[in-house]
A and B are shown apart, each in its own frame.
Chain A
Amino acid sequence: MTVLSRILFDSLCFTFTLGPKRKATGVLHRERPSKWSELRRMNEFPPEFDPARLIETMSRNGHNKLIGTRYHGHGEGWCELALPYSETLVTDIASGILASGPIFTLMDMATSLSIWLKTGTFQPQATLDLRIDYLRPARPGNTVIGHGECYHVTKSIAFIRGHAHDGDPDKPIAHVAGTYFFTASA
């Protein structure tokens, strides 16, 4: 499942539902009323929403806290997280090489957040599948940066891709591709 902090998620949805109702635009009026569009409107970001703060909060909880993922950057439809090197995450003490599991977690979180940043909504979602290609190991001691991008969404599925590097964006250590589904879509 994805990395979403449900408490935060619920409280945000709560704020939207109870907050001042936004004026529906002409575009929204022309939409056919459906469970889907209602859900989208309900889950829209508030104007003051700060993805950086949300990501920092999520990074202080659960598995992301254990792994140590941090906010690195974001834009429309993309998100970057950092995974600082830690000896508790290595696969082999002698080589000091980071295990692949934490990189998988980093990419899962970065790509799932990119979907929110693509749609501008907090729709609940779950990972359907995620494929990762390990191009080369991350250099011991280096922080790994994970870049996640949502390049297409349909009613029920979000398509994502991403890459990770350990200092030089032109020399990736891993590539990912995958899909998520919206668990509450009609």
Chain B
Amino acid sequence: MKTSFSPYAQTMGFEEQRDADGRLVIAMPYSDGVRGRPGFVHGGALAGLLETIAYATLSEALGEDDRPVIKPVNVTATYMRGAVEMTTYARATIERLGKRIANIEAIAWQDDINKPVAMAQINVMLDRSRG
């Protein structure tokens, strides 16, 4: 199952897209449900978006034949700008994909990818013990 289509992703209104290079992008349209203080996106919603794109990108990189259970170990989110009332996009880069651990970096932006609103470093464990 695609991470981005989890009940949580649906609740959040996430949409899967592709950028010009064919890379996976998740869009989070602005709605009252992602609002923190009025006029701004909630930091928790941004973290949820960054985590989701990280897991979706990882899932895609693993391919159809390799389906380990992806277990989040930790997430460090850094907030750089206030995310305002517009769609937020996110994409992730897998820095290392090992047998048991993957290190992923995700960024979120709005109108300009060169002005990210938040980024996250995400470490996950790949559990293949359950086949």
Contact = CB atoms under 8 A, between A and B. Distances in A.
Interface in A32-56: none
A66 B11 CA distance: 8
A166 interface: no
Given A3-B36, A63-B36, A66-B34, A104 B77 contact: yes
B22 to A, nearest CB: 26
B75 A131 contact: yes
A177 B51 CA distance: 17
Interface string B2-21: 01001111111000000000
A62 B78 contact: no
A63 B75 contact: no
Nearest to A128: B79
A100 B38 CA distance: 24
Interface string A122-140: 0000111111111001000
B56 to A, nearest CB: 12
A2 B43 contact: yes
Contact of A65 (B12, B33, B40): B33
A5 interface: yes
A158 B65 CA distance: 46
Contacts of B39: 6
Contacts of A18: none
A88 B37 CA distance: 23
Given A106-B44, A127-B43, A87 B35 contact: no
B108 interface: no
Contacts of A132: 74-76
Nearest to B77: A130
B92 to A, nearest CB: 14
6 contacts: A3-B43, A62-B42, A99-B48, A100-B75, A127-B77, A131-B76
Given A1-B40, A4-B36, 8 more contacts: A3-B44, A61-B35, A89-B11, A99-B51, A102-B48, A104-B48, A108-B47, A126-B82
